[in-house]
């Protein structure tokens, strides 16, 4: 199974109008801007995209808009998981129909499944889509469940199309055990911004960083520098990104990112759907102060 999933894959925000309706026209513009600024791939439907506040049909509309805009220029890695199997299968089927490079399937959230339950969940998806690369999306802070490295390895052994993992956990030992058990050809992507560079050092293949939404070039260049063997520059970019990471998480992701993108003129509205609230005044001041420390993002005063 030929896999091209690597590099800086931007987990795209979902644009909304001020009234909360999808702004599908902006999806295409954002995709173009991302590719022009060096992003190696595009993902939608991950945590940064607010998937739990959208219907399945809305998520499919966003996937279609993104796939049409990408038009094969870079790999498309949509998030297709939910807490329900029927919805997950529907979204994953659409990803396959759209020609996605793979499907990023989050561990079923809230239910706190046992490891056998998680194995059975991914096994069902892998059997249903044998020709589609499947990546496990491990995000215990949101899903309330952590898939064990041994469970990932079991899936890897049993299904050729379970090809990788997105690790959104600060337990850095987790990915080390995953790669030890699955082999270093198993795709490992960082979902924690300040672990993007360390993940590459362990043998990872790239990262999905919410910072890439408003600063795609340095996020992509970090990967480019690393694979070119310029570790000094990659490490320098890692530290250059610190204030942007702090800005992105000044409040709950993606609220600050959307506010910054609105100020940059990339979005017509910074709207994030309930239960998320607009960026507070204190949050705005903190974000502005942090952006002043970076040469990579400029927004009007």
Q: Which of 109, 110, 122, 137 is catalytic?
A: 137
Contact residues for 171 (Cβ-Cβ < 8 A; gap 6+):
146
**Separation between Cα atoms, residue 145 and residue 149, nearest integer Å:** 13
Token pair, residue 81, equals: 């998981």
197 is catalytic: no
> Are residues 80 and 105 in contact, defined by beta-carbon separation less than 8 angstroms?
yes
CA 34, chain centre distance (Å): 14
Catalytic residue among 122, 166, 197, 223: 166
Is position 137 annotated as part of the catalytic site? yes
**Cα 245 to Cα 273: distance, rounded to the nearest angstrom:** 22
97 closest CA partner among 121, 131, 73, 126: 131
Provide the 10 A C-beta neighbour count for residue 251: 20
Residue 284: what are its φ and ψ, rounded to 5°?
A: -65, -45
Chain CA centroid to CA 210, Å: 7
| Per-residue burial over 14-43, b = 16 or more CB atoms within 10 Å of its CB, e = otherwise | bbbeeeeebbbebbeebbebbbebbbbbbb
Q: In what order do the strands lie in the sheet with 7-11?
A: 41-43, 7-11, 206-207, 187-190, 162-167, 134-138, 103-106
Q: How far apart are the first and last CA of the chain?
A: 49
Residues with active-site annotation: 137, 166
């Amino acid at each position: 199974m030929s896999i091209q999933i690597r590099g800086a894959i931007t987990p795209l925000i979902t644009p909304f109008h001020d009234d909360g309706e999808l702004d599908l026209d902006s999806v295409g513009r954002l995709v173009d801007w991302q590719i022009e600024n060096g992003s190696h791939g595009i993902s939608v439907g991950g945590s940064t995209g607010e998937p739990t506040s959208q219907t399945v049909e809305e998520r499919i509309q966003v996937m279609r808009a993104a796939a049409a805009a990408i038009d094969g220029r870079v790999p498309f890695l949509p998030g297709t998981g939910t807490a329900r199997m029927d919805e997950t299968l529907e979204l994953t089927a659409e990803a396959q129909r759209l020609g996605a490079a793979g499907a990023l399937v989050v561990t079923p959230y809230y239910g706190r499944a046992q490891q056998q339950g998680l194995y059975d969940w991914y096994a069902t998806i892998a059997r249903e889509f044998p020709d589609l690369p499947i990546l496990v999306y491990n995000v215990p802070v949101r899903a309330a469940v952590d898939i064990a490295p041994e469970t990932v390895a079991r899936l890897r052994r049993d299904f050729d199309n379970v090809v990788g993992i997105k690790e959104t956990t600060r337990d850095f030992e987790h990915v080390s055990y995953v790669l030890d058990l699955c082999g270093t050809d198993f795709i490992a992507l960082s979902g924690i911004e300040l672990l993007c560079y360390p993940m590459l050092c362990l043998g990872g293949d790239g990262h999905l960083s919410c910072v890439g939404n408003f600063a795609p070039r340095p996020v992509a260049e970090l990967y480019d520098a690393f694979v070119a063997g310029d570790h000094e520059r990659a490490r320098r970019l890692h530290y250059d990104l610190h204030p942007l990471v702090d800005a992105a998480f000044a409040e709950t992701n993606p609220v600050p990112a959307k506010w910054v993108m609105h100020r940059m003129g990339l979005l017509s509205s910074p709207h994030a759907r309930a239960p998320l609230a607009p960026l507070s005044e204190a949050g705005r001041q903190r974000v502005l102060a942090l952006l002043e420390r970076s040469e990579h993002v400029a927004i009007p005063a």
